[in-house]
A and B are shown apart, each in its own frame.
Chain A
Amino acid sequence: MARADSLAKLAFAYGVHLTRRKLTRPHSQLAKLLDTYTQDGVRPLLPEERARHPNMIGCINCGLCALAAGRMGSVRLPDLATSYMRLYARLGAAASDVDGESPDLAAAAAACPVGVPLDEVAAIVRRLAAG
Chain B
Amino acid sequence: MTGAGIARDLSLRGLSVLLLEKGDWGGGTTGSSSWMIHGGPRYLEFDWDTTRLSTQDAGYIVSIAKNMVYRVVFIIPVLPHDKNNIERMETAMEVYDRFQPLKHAHPHLRLTADEARQAEPGLSADIIGAVTMEEWGVDPHRLVFANVQDAVSHGARALNHTRVVHLLRDGGKVIGVRYHGPDGSMSEARSRVVVNAAGPWVPEVSRMAGASVHLRPAKGIHIVYPHRISNFSISAESIDGRDLLLVSHAGFSLLGTTDDDFYGDLDSVDVLEDEVDYLLQAFERVFPSIRDYRPVRTTTGVRPTLFKWRRYEDELSRRYEVIDHAPDGAEGFVTIAGGKLSMYRLMAEETADVVCRKLGHQAPSVTATRPLPGNESDVEPPDELGRRFGITALAAMKLQTRHGSNAAAVLNESHAGRMVCRCEPITEAELVHAARHEQVRTLADAFRRVGLAAGPCAGAACVLRAAGVIGNELGWSASQRFDAAHEFIRGAWLGRAPVLGHSGWAQEELAIGSLRGLGNKLSRN
Contacts and interface: CB of A to CB of B under 8 A. Distances in A.
A14 B91 contact: yes
A87 B228 contact: yes
A5 B109 CA distance: 26
Contacts of A46: 121
A40 B44 contact: no
A34 B503 contact: no
B73 interface: yes
B73 A13 contact: no
B47 interface: yes
A57 B455 CA distance: 11
Contact of B47 (A6, A49, A53): A6
A127 interface: no
B292 interface: yes
A88 B252 CA distance: 8
A68 interface: no
A111 interface: no
Contacts of B94: 13, 17
A67 interface: no
A10 B91 contact: yes
B518 to A, nearest CB: 14
A88 B394 contact: yes
A76 B164 CA distance: 47
Interface residues of B, number: 64
A97 B393 contact: yes
B115 A29 contact: yes
Interface in A76-107: 76, 78-79, 82-91, 93-97
B510 interface: yes
Interface in B369-407: 381-383, 386, 392-394, 397
Contacts of B229: 53
Given A42-B73, A45-B230, A30 B48 contact: no
A29 B110 contact: yes
Nearest to B107: A36
A40 B233 CA distance: 13
B262 interface: no
B276 interface: no
A61 B121 contact: no
Contacts of A29: 109-111, 115
A79 B422 contact: yes
A51 B122 CA distance: 8
A57 B73 contact: no
A74 B87 contact: no
A109 B87 CA distance: 48
B392 A94 contact: yes
A90 B393 CA distance: 11
A84 B394 CA distance: 8
Nearest to B109: A29
Contacts of B507: 60
B457 interface: yes
Nearest to A47: B121
Interface in B110-160: 110-112, 115, 118-122, 132
B294 interface: yes
Interface string A17-32: 1100100001011101
Given A6-B45, A9-B48, A37 B73 contact: yes
A130 interface: no
Contacts of B106: 36
Contact of A58 (B45, B88, B397, B503): B503
Nearest to B508: A60
Contact of B95 (A13, A61, A62, A95): A13
Nearest to B289: A54
B392 A26 contact: no
Nearest to B117: A47
Contacts of B111: 29-30, 33
Contact of B510 (A7, A42, A50, A62): A62
Given A44-B118, A60-B457, A62-B510, A82 B87 contact: no
A69 interface: no
Contact of A82 (B46, B90, B455): B455
B413 interface: no
A2 B44 CA distance: 10
A26 B91 contact: no
A70 interface: no
A33 B121 contact: no
A57 B227 contact: yes
A32 B122 CA distance: 20
B381 A93 contact: yes
A18 B506 CA distance: 53
Contacts of A110: none
B68 interface: no
B231 interface: yes
Nearest to B507: A60
B285 interface: no
A56 to B, nearest CB: 9
Contact of B422 (A34, A44, A78, A95): A78
Interface of B: 44-49, 70-71, 73, 87-88, 90-92, 94-95, 106, 109-112, 115, 118-122, 132, 226-232, 248, 250-252, 289, 292-294, 381-383, 386, 392-394, 397, 422-425, 455-457, 460-461, 503, 506-507, 510
Interface of A: 2-3, 5-7, 9-10, 13-14, 17-18, 21, 26, 28-30, 32-34, 36-37, 40-47, 49-51, 53-54, 57-63, 74-76, 78-79, 82-91, 93-97, 113-114
24 contacts: A2-B46, A6-B45, A6-B46, A10-B44, A10-B92, A13-B95, A17-B87, A29-B111, A36-B106, A47-B121, A50-B122, A60-B460, A61-B456, A61-B510, A74-B392, A79-B392, A82-B455, A82-B457, A83-B394, A86-B226, A87-B251, A93-B393, A94-B382, A95-B393
Given A82-B457, A90-B70, 18 more contacts: A13-B91, A14-B88, A44-B121, A45-B120, A51-B121, A57-B293, A57-B294, A59-B456, A60-B507, A61-B460, A75-B392, A79-B425, A82-B455, A83-B394, A83-B422, A86-B227, A88-B228, A93-B393
